[in-house]
């Protein structure tokens, strides 16, 4: 049981450090969109390691999430213009 706790702590601390680095390098607006990718990673890991089946609505959700993250990232970089202008 302690091994699982150790693994959870290392992953949590590692994720926190990586996110902090993201904020430092690319800014808070772009880094915050990475949180929306967690369900996509969970789907991928479930399919790869637990042999969970993916249904058509999973792929629709992945496209929507990636589209939203892409749009938000482009807006944050100023490529699409700001919403307030």
Query: Mean pLDDT for each consecutive 10-residue tract of the chain (85 residues)?
Result: 73 84 86 86 87 94 93 72 54
Q: Does pTM top 0.75 for this prediction?
A: no
Q: Is residue 6 assigned to a domain?
A: yes
pLDDT at 74: 80
Is 76 within 8 Å of 23 (Cβ atoms)? no
Count structural domains, the chain. 1
Q: Is residue 23 assigned to a domain?
A: yes
pLDDT at 77: 65
* Torsional sign, CA 36, 41, 47, 50: negative
pLDDT at 35: 84
Q: Is residue 84 assigned to a domain?
A: no
Tell me which residue range forms the domain holding 23. Answer: 2-76
Q: Is residue 60 assigned to a domain?
A: yes
pLDDT at 57: 96
Q: Is residue 50 assigned to a domain?
A: yes
pLDDT at 22: 86
Q: Is residue 82 assigned to a domain?
A: no
Q: Is residue 39 assigned to a domain?
A: yes
Q: Is residue 53 assigned to a domain?
A: yes
């Amino acid at each position: 049981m302690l091994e699982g706790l150790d693994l959870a702590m290392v992953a949590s601390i590692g994720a926190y450090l990586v996110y902090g680095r993201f904020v430092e390098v690319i800014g808070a607006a772009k880094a915050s969109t990475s949180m929306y990718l967690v369900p996509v990673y969970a789907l991928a890991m479930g399919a790869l390691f637990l042999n969970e089946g993916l249904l058509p609505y999973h792929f629709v959700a992945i496209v929507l999430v990636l589209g939203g993250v892409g749009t938000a990232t482009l807006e944050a970089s100023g490529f699409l213009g700001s919403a307030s202008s």
